A = this chain, B = another copy of it.
Amino acid sequence: MVMGRPRSFDTDKALDEAMEVFWRHGYDGASIAMLTKAMGIKPPSLYAAFGSKEGLLKAALDRYAQRRSEHMRFVLAGATARDVAERFLGSIAESHTDPANPPGCLLVQGGLACGAGSENIPFELATRRAQTETELRERFLQAKQIGDLPAEADPASLARFLSTVASGMGVLASSGADREALREVARVSLQAFTGSRSP
């Protein structure tokens, strides 16, 4: 079999650049011109590799999920439900204010509302946000069965609460809030788990 001319750019490297553009400008706000410039390639190369603008976003989202899955492995390894919650919100506070990335969360910044022809983008992002909530819910369900969470606790509610706070922290970070501000939000949020007031 013949191989043909090899690709002259690093797909993952290009995806990282595209991810940053989507992150900073949203799906609608990211033009092909911006993306190709950041990726260091021309439009035909982009379309040959990713099919369409939407295909490029999905590839970038896959890469984003891959990154975050490492964090989530650490989060879900917390000893108790309270530990898991603390690790989760802590990692969100860190990652959403990581100077190596645009502020906030790609799954929120990417586009909650889009224009004509991009109607399925918000759904795509929502589906991926829901993934994290599911992981937390299953972890809390397990904690409840073990007895780590009281019988009256609702794993689904707790997971949705944490996921919602994480989205809110994404919005907060996108407007320039610093890491300490997000940490404070995390601290207050954790009182829903501890049942004690802040010191």
Which of chain B's residues has its CB closest to A175's CB? B126
Interface string of A140-179 (1 = CB under 8 A from B): 0000000000101110011011011111111110111000
The answer to whether B174 and A122 touch across the interface, beta carbons within 8 angstroms, is yes
**Contact-residue bracket for chain A:** 35 or more
Given contacts A171-B168, A175-B122, A185-B164, contact A26 B197 (CB under 8 A): no
Q: Write out the residue numbers on chain B whose beta carbons fall within 8 Å of the beta carbon of A195.
A: 191, 195-197
- A172→B181 contact, CB < 8 A: no
Residues from chain B with a CB closer than 8 A to the CB of A185 are: 157, 160-161, 164
Seen from chain A, the residues whose Cβ lies within 8 Å of a Cβ on chain B are 23-26, 28-31, 34, 102, 104, 108-116, 118, 122-123, 126, 129-130, 150, 152-154, 157-158, 160-161, 163-172, 174-176, 181, 184-185, 187-189, 191-192, 195-199
